[in-house]
Amino acid sequence: MIDKPKAIILLSGGLDSVTVLAIANKHYECIAISFDYRQRHVSELNAAKAIALEYEVRHQVIRLDDAVLGGSALTDATIDVPHQLETGIPVTYVPARNTVFLAHALAIAEVNQSSDIFIGVNAVDYSGYPDCRPAYIEAFEKMANLATRAGIEGHKLHIHTPLMEMSKAEIIRTGIEYGVDYSRTVSCYQADPEGRACGVCDSCRYRKKGFEEAGLEDVTRYQ
């Protein structure tokens, strides 16, 4: 039996990241990492832990200091989560979040002699986040290969973004093909302690629209 190469998967517990895990798990020995960055709720993290167990992958939750990722509606209870779609960079943008996450993933990849990092960023349905663009991913990958011993010694690191050019409906259809149970995922910005979605935030609206356009039953658990 040929050993699979290792890959680091950024696993939030949401729809996109679980789809990425399902895709990567077919070809790699996955090491999933999640982040406790003092977000509004822990329901997504709880989902990530349960899903990692389901897929039988190694899973690490990294806790960040309270002050690292502030200034966002996702981390500051004094900033309201919007109930309508926004233009431009939304208040749910978390300063430098993917840069912080990918930096940790890069270090873990090098320690585990992995050349592959998977992240569920998407630039089709919602491009308001500057750290979800193809140009950003390309720049980070270039930096990673300049900044690491592995990169300098010729073990080039790759950041995989399999969902980058997919619509939400295409992502859901792909996940169904890989056997993803989306009822176990949590995408809502303000889910309750049981992981039930609000149904009105940006993330809920895009998720619901994705199921509708995919012609599939929305299995999201709502409040």
Whole-structure pTM value: 0.93
The pLDDT tens digits of the residues spanning 58-75 come to 999 999 987 677 777 666
Q: What is the CATH number of domain 6-214?
A: 3.40.50.620
Residue 168 CB coordination number (10 Å): 23
Query: How does pLDDT run across 142-188, given as a tens digit for each residue?
Result: 999 999 999 999 999 999 999 999 999 999 999 999 999 999 999 99
Rounded Cα gap, residues 25 and 42, in angstroms? 24
| Contact status, residue 4 vs residue 30, Cβ threshold 8 Å | no
CA dist., res. 69 & res. 200, Å (int): 24
